[in-house]
Amino acid sequence: MLDLSRQYAPIREEILAALAEVLDHRQFILGQPVAGFERAAAEYLGVAEAMGCASGTDALWLALAAAEIGPGSTVITTPFSFFASVSSILRAGSTTLLSDIDPVTFNLDPAGVEKLLKQPQTVPIRALLPVHLYGQCASWPEFARLGAEYSLTLIEDAAQAWGAAWDGVSAGSLGDIAAFSFYPTKNLSAAGDAGLVTTNRPELAERMRMLRQHGMRQRYHHDEVGWNARMDGFQGAVLNVNLRYIPERNRLRCEAALRYHQLFAASGLAESGIYPAHGVVLPKEIAGAKHVWHQYVIRSARRDGLREFLTERQIGSEIYYPVPLHRQKALEFLGYPEGSFPEAERAAREVLALPIFPEIRPDEQERVVGAIAEFLS
């Protein structure tokens, strides 16, 4: 599914040198390695401020806490994402409202969000938290319009979208605040847990710096109840190295995605509709979006059998996500029965992520498509 050894082997010496520097200067928490990465990351994204933190989950929480989206406010997000998109809202003390996804992009559908915004709510809706799933931005102009019309804070869950953009504007500078994850499988990855929050609003940046350090502006003077959400120096050092390679790595991912498109088209398996019949529905890059192919996700009506068949042939695949968030045991209390979000529920039954990473070889992709053709024919 992903061979990280191919990513690290060519840069092993560079990584070791960066880690040795942290050790030599003993800047284990925040410090120069993290500050250096924050500057480079902000420049890369074209955003005013970037703050390193301990994980993508902490990044989401920091974003919500800094914008004072807590008890007494409701946040709308998607039921088809990683758990942290919702758990961070709950941890911030807010109420969660879910809205169904667009079946083509798997991202939050702005039309459904608008319907919710028009309905009376007991707890006022204060923020939208769209997720840029699989490396493609959620339909941003529509969310920006809704944000302006209803005076909402827009928080991007950009955990899967380093380098993605909408109309040339990077994920990470589209909304009021954005949260990134550098979990080791992400396009831009750390050697452990790490995350980043970005914003163009200096007052929010200042609050996030304070909140990630137990609410301290001055050492041992706590202005608010924050959290320990700091980034380690070692992670900052690794990220600084990996950031240099990200343009090339994202370019190679795009090439690999294009190769899958071509191989599926040539095999006659690719179907044109939204939902699969006998073949597979391929992922689409929509107008305005620059996709960075964190995942290459197909739909198949026989998804579970197909996955088993691939596993038998030692071909990796993954289901992101097999259970939509409203059907997770931990979130039963949100009160959404089966059938609440038909698109998310259908996607959970049909999606299958195929191996994609910068170093994947064309012959490996041919083997993947060949095996899928063998199963479906």
Ligand X SMILES: Cc1ncc(COP(=O)(O)O)c(C=O)c1O
Among residues 9 and 330, whose Cβ is nearest to ligand X? 330
Q: Which amino acid would we find at residue 64? A: L
Per DSSP, the three-state class of 131 is: strand
| Whole-number Å distance between alpha carbons of 126 and 369 | 45
Specify whether the CB–CB gap between 163 and 246 falls below 8 A: yes
| Whole-number Å distance between alpha carbons of 125 and 95 | 9
Residue 308 makes CB contacts below 8 A (sequence gap 6+) with none
Closest distance of CB 158 from ligand X, Å: 8
Mask for 96-135, x = binds ligand X (CB under 6 A):
-----------------------------------x----
Closest distance of CB 124 from ligand X, Å: 25
Residue 82 makes contact with ligand X by CB under 6 A: yes
| Whole-number Å distance between alpha carbons of 316 and 171 | 28
Helices 56-66 + 202-211 axis angle, to 10 = 120
Residue 189 makes contact with ligand X by CB under 6 A: no
**Is the C-alpha dihedral spanning 307, 310, 311, 317 positive or negative?**
negative
Specify whether the CB–CB gap between 73 and 80 falls below 8 A: no
How many residues lie near ligand X (CB under 6 A)? 15
Mask for 311-330, x = binds ligand X (CB under 6 A):
--------------------
Instruction: Give residues 154-173 in contact with ligand X (rule: CB under 6 A).
Output: 157, 159-160
Residue 87 makes contact with ligand X by CB under 6 A: no
Per DSSP, the three-state class of 196 is: strand
Among residues 81 and 242, whose Cβ is nearest to ligand X? 81
| Whole-number Å distance between alpha carbons of 223 and 208 | 13
Q: For residue 41, give both structure tokens.
A: 């990351």
What is the DSSP secondary structure assignment for residue 79, as one 8-state letter? Answer: S
Among residues 192 and 370, whose Cβ is nearest to ligand X? 192
Residue 195 makes contact with ligand X by CB under 6 A: yes
Per DSSP, the three-state class of 142 is: helix
Considering only residues 105, 181, 189, 365, which one is a binding residue for ligand X as defined by CB under 6 A? 181
Binding segment (CB under 6 A) for ligand X, from list 30-38, 82-90, 120-128, 339-347: 82-90
| Whole-number Å distance between alpha carbons of 191 and 185 | 10
Per DSSP, the three-state class of 258 is: helix
Closest distance of CB 231 from ligand X, Å: 11
Mask for 37-76, x = binds ligand X (CB under 6 A):
------------------xxx-------------------
Per DSSP, the three-state class of 376 is: helix
Closest distance of CB 208 from ligand X, Å: 16
Residue showing the smallest CB distance to ligand X in the complex: 56
Closest distance of CB 374 from ligand X, Å: 31
Closest distance of CB 321 from ligand X, Å: 9
Closest distance of CB 268 from ligand X, Å: 33
Q: For residue 176, give both structure tokens.
A: 């009021």
Closest distance of CB 186 from ligand X, Å: 7
- Residues lying near ligand X in the complex (CB under 6 A) are found at 55-57, 81-82, 84-85, 131, 157, 159-160, 181, 183, 193, 195
